[in-house]
Amino acid sequence: MTGARGQAGTPADAGAVTSDAEALARTETAARLRTAVGRLARRIRPTRAGAELTLTEATVLATTARNGPVGLSWLAREEGMNPTMLSRVVWRLEDAGLLARRPDPRDRRAALVDATPAGRRLHDRIRAERTDALSQLIEHLGVAEREALDAALPVLEQLARDLKDRRP
C-alpha cells in the first residue's frame, strides 16, 4: 500500500517529523542551557569582596582588569553599553579608586582606562571567591559528572565565543 506511507511502511514525511523533533529537542536544550547558565551566574555573582559594586561596575572592572588599558569605545562595545552609561560607570569606578583614565597616546581626543592596583586586587578577590565557590561544588560531584563537565567545557566556551561574535 502506498499513499501516506513510503516504502517499507514508513511515513512519507518521516524526514520532516525527525527534523521537527530534532528542532524541538534543540530548542529544549537551548532553553535548559540558558536557564542553567543564568542560575549559575546569578548564584555565583554575589561576593563579599565585590559587595559594594553593582553588577555592571563589577563586569566593567573585570573586563578592564583583564584587557586594560582599553579605549572607552572598545569597552562600550565589549560590554554592550551605550557610551553615556559606560562613562557614568567608569566615573564611579574612578571615584572609588578602582579605574584610572588617561589620554590615548595615539588619539589625544580619546581616553584609555585601566584598573588601578586597588582595582586589580579587588578583581582578583572577586574572581577567587567565585572560583572557590564553584570548586567546592565541583569537588562534591562524582567522577563521571566531573568528566562530563570537563568534556562539555570546550563546547560551552565555543558557544560563548559564537554569541559574542553575533552581538549587534
Q: Cα 59 from chain centroid?
A: 10
CA–CA gap between residue 144 and residue 152 (Å, rounded): 12
Q: What is the pTM of this model?
A: 0.75
Residue 15 clears pLDDT 70, i.e. is over it: no
pLDDT of residue 163: 84
Burial class (CB in 10 A: 0-12, 13-18, 19+), 103: exposed
Kindly state the average pLDDT of the residues 76-84.
91
pLDDT of residue 4: 47
Residue 87 clears pLDDT 90, i.e. is over it: yes
Burial class (CB in 10 A: 0-12, 13-18, 19+), 98: buried
Give the domain ranges of the chain. Answer: 45-168
Say which residues have a Cβ less than 8 Å from residue 101's Cβ, sequence separation at least 6: 90, 94, 111, 112, 113
Q: Does domain 45-168 have CATH number 1.10.10.10?
A: yes
For residue 66, the number of C-alpha atoms closer than 13 Å in the C-beta half-sphere is 10
CA–CA gap between residue 94 and residue 92 (Å, rounded): 5
Residue 66 clears pLDDT 70, i.e. is over it: yes
Q: Could you read off the pLDDT of 94-149 as tens digits, one per residue?
A: 999 999 999 989 988 889 999 999 999 999 999 999 999 999 999 999 999 999 99
Kindly state the average pLDDT of the residues 62-90.
94
Higher-scoring residue by pLDDT: 89, 7: 89
Higher-scoring residue by pLDDT: 18, 53: 53
